[in-house]
A and B are shown apart, each in its own frame.
Chain A
Amino acid sequence: MKLILVGNPNVGKSSVINTLTGSHFFASNYPGTSTEIEKAILKINGTEFEFYDTLGVYSIYSDREEGRVTRSLLEEDRHDLIINIVDASNLERNLVLTYELLERGYSILVLLNQVDRARDLGIQINVAELTQILQSPVIAFSATNNEGVSEFRQFLEQLIIKPHAAEDKISQQKGQQRLILTEDFSCSGNCGNCSISKATCSLDLDRKLAEKARKTAQMVSSVSSPASHNLLNRVQNFIDRPYIGTIVLLLLAYLGLVVLTKFISFSEGPISSLLEPLSNLLHNWILSVMPPGFFAVVLAKAIPEGLVIPFTIIMPAMLMVSLLMALLEDSGLLPRYSVAMERFGRLFGVSGQAVIPLSLGFGCRTPAVMATRILPNDAQRFIVITLLSIVIPCAATVGVIVMISAKFQASLAVIVLTMLIVMMILGMLLSRLSPREEAFIYELPPLRIPMAKNVWSKIKLRFAGFFTEVLPLLLLMSIAIRALIESHLLEIFNGMEHFTRMLFGIPAEAFVAVLITIFQRYLAPLVLLNLDLTAREATIALSMIALSLPCLPVMVVTVRELGFKSLIKILLMGFTTSAVVGVVLNLILPV
């Protein structure tokens, strides 16, 4: 049986699916977390229920991307039931969508989510009365404390016995046929013969639905004084204040950065001293089991190296960034940065909303590219994806940069400053090409205390990439690079020594490391750590690496999101940026 979840942004659709089916979809506390329709399966008494998690929409007629995606799912495929997730603490606004669905003749089940939060706010909803008015089943639900879960399961069991119960009821009572929504749709009523312009007509009908929703919400809900005029509300009011709030947010960001770098440098020692005997053991074991020769030497060096580097450098960074990102997302702080940074974003030629994908990029840039869908138009998305691809360092890259700069005493300050300046110049140049549209409309989610369960499941999800992607890739590349070094093939590049020294002030081998970042930025240390670099050389090489090309997964997603042409443009800009950074730093850094 196919069930589609439809609801306003940030009402908790993904959390509801996670609660009902035990799946692990990304659920965060900001509008626009889900960027793709996802499917989860629940089996009850041998019947398979397919739940489709859609993108949040305020209206099924929305002409934005999320509206189109959700609409096509509703109209193209056959489904058995729509589960309309309604935020109980914001009933009036949510019911507009409910009435849109009912008006189209869809059979729906209303899941009144976040009833616990509504109660905290002093809002009581009469579920029986709402059921009566909507002529559709309504279940009070909370994904946080599992309220309503058993009732929902009972409903599904009923559905197995009588699949079309809900549908029959609605079509009989309303005597309506389901209307097919078409792509060029711009009006929410049967006004084929109407003389009023479509846009006006649609707004007029929207008003009628809104009025209906307002009346219903008033009839079924009673508001008493909030059960707990809680601390969280006071903190929220404080954070949302323009001056002091912005300062607090910036301090928190700085604190996060300090925690991250301290964590990386503190954990490196214990982890490597723990791994050292193991890697020695591995080294000796490989030498003893393999016939002596080139391959034995390569593998004996490369395998321990390919295991130690990811565990000491990349793992701590990925862990800490995952934790910090989860806290930012689940607390509702992340979108507050968008608001505080709205004016600041103009310097970079991006809207405040860009803060969300840009900061997600510090975790992993691949999902961050997908998150650019919350931006108003393709021009904005191109700017942000370019900045993500060239400037923003992902968790793994941060680990690599911090660790290598520590080894060669490279200047982290110069590297960070270079990145900031490049981001500003690049953003400004790009926004000249495609002027930014002033269209900042955003709904701020309520502040919440992150749930340990959700934070943990996110860390696990983000960290899974370490074992499936980072570790195998680094191991393979480590072997390849070690083979190149041992075979003295890299010495071919020594002919370029004069050229790379003059242009970028770095040895040819370090330039090879820069070129290797084409595959993955975090592969660069495999080469760099084997070299003997001065602080100046390491600073330049790391800056060139930090500001270069997107990794392969980001390239693939970019093609999917913006097309091949955009990717080529980004790659060309990446090459140019990296070269310009090298030349400029070589000119200005004291020898």
Chain B
Amino acid sequence: MNSTDMRKGQKAVVRSFSKGQGMERRLSEMGIRPGTEIELLEKHPFKGPLLFRVGQSRIVLGRNIASNLEVEIPD
């Protein structure tokens, strides 16, 4: 599933990013890389951005980026 399908407060593990090496690199720099746990804190309406907790940081991703971020909900 992609990260926009997560529910508020849900935690997931990043699997991959399916668009553009440049963006993957940027995400990776900010700590969003395969294996990292992320938590969806808020989802802005009208296709607005999503706010994630990554480690101790709060990272905002635009809808376009978030929809290319594949995640897996641990059992």
Contact = CB atoms under 8 A, between A and B. Distances in A.
Contacts of B26: 62, 64, 441
A59 B30 CA distance: 9
Given A240-B42, A440-B49, A63 B22 contact: yes
* Best-buried of B21, B24, B44, B45 by chain A (most CB within 10 Å): B44
B23 interface: yes
Nearest to B20: A439
B24 to A, nearest CB: 7
A121 B62 contact: no
Interface string B25-69: 111111101110000011111111101001111111111110000
A442 B57 CA distance: 10
Interface stretch (A144-152, A201-209, A288-296): A201-209
A439 B25 contact: no
Given A90-B55, A339-B51, A199 B46 contact: no
B59 to A, nearest CB: 5
A342 B34 CA distance: 27
Contact of B31 (A92, A199, A343, A352): A92
A241 B51 CA distance: 9
A351 B63 CA distance: 12
A544 interface: no
Interface residues of B, number: 36
A343 B48 contact: yes
Contact of B57 (A90, A240, A440): A90
B64 A438 contact: yes
A210 B27 contact: no
B46 A343 contact: yes
A89 interface: yes
A90 B47 CA distance: 29
Residue among A92, A210, A242 with max Cβ neighbours from chain B (10 Å): A242
Contacts of A202: 25
Contact of A343 (B21, B34, B47, B60): B47
Contact of A439 (B55, B59, B65): B65
A418 B46 CA distance: 27
A443 B63 CA distance: 15
A121 to B, nearest CB: 7
Interface residues of A, number: 35
A210 B28 contact: yes
Interface string A203-231: 10011001000000000000000000000
A440 B28 contact: no
Contacts of A243: 45
B33 A339 contact: no
A203 B28 contact: yes
Interface string A321-341: 000000000000000000110
B29 A62 contact: yes
A541 B23 CA distance: 47
Given A92-B55, A199-B21, A343-B46, A440 B33 contact: no
Contacts of A443: 30, 57-60
Nearest to B67: A438
B31 A440 contact: no
A441 B29 CA distance: 11
A119 B65 CA distance: 34
A89 B56 contact: yes
Contacts of A340: 44
Contact of B42 (A59, A241, A342): A241
Given A441-B62, A443-B58, A203 B31 contact: no
Contacts of B33: 206-207, 210
B29 A59 contact: yes
Given A93-B55, A243-B45, A343-B46, A203 B25 contact: yes
Nearest to B28: A206
A58 interface: yes
Contact of B60 (A210, A438, A441): A441
A1 interface: no
A58 B30 contact: yes
Contacts of A159: none
A225 B28 CA distance: 29
Interface in B1-31: 21-31
Contacts of A89: 56
A439 B31 contact: no
Contacts of A121: 56
A444 interface: yes
Interface string A235-259: 0000011110000000000000000
Contacts of A351: 62
Interface in A332-370: 339-340, 342-343, 351-352
Given A439-B65, A443-B60, A444-B51, 5 more contacts: A92-B31, A210-B31, A441-B62, A443-B30, A444-B57
30 contacts: A58-B29, A62-B25, A90-B55, A92-B56, A93-B57, A96-B29, A96-B31, A203-B25, A206-B29, A207-B34, A240-B41, A240-B51, A242-B43, A242-B44, A242-B45, A242-B48, A243-B45, A339-B44, A340-B44, A343-B46, A343-B48, A438-B62, A440-B49, A441-B27, A441-B61, A441-B65, A443-B57, A443-B58, A444-B51, A446-B58
Interface of A: 58-59, 62-64, 89-90, 92-93, 96, 121, 199, 202-203, 206-207, 210, 240-243, 339-340, 342-343, 351-352, 438-444, 446
Which 8 residue pairs across A and B have the least CB separation, nearest first?
A: A440-B62, A58-B29, A438-B64, A444-B58, A90-B56, A199-B21, A93-B31, A242-B44
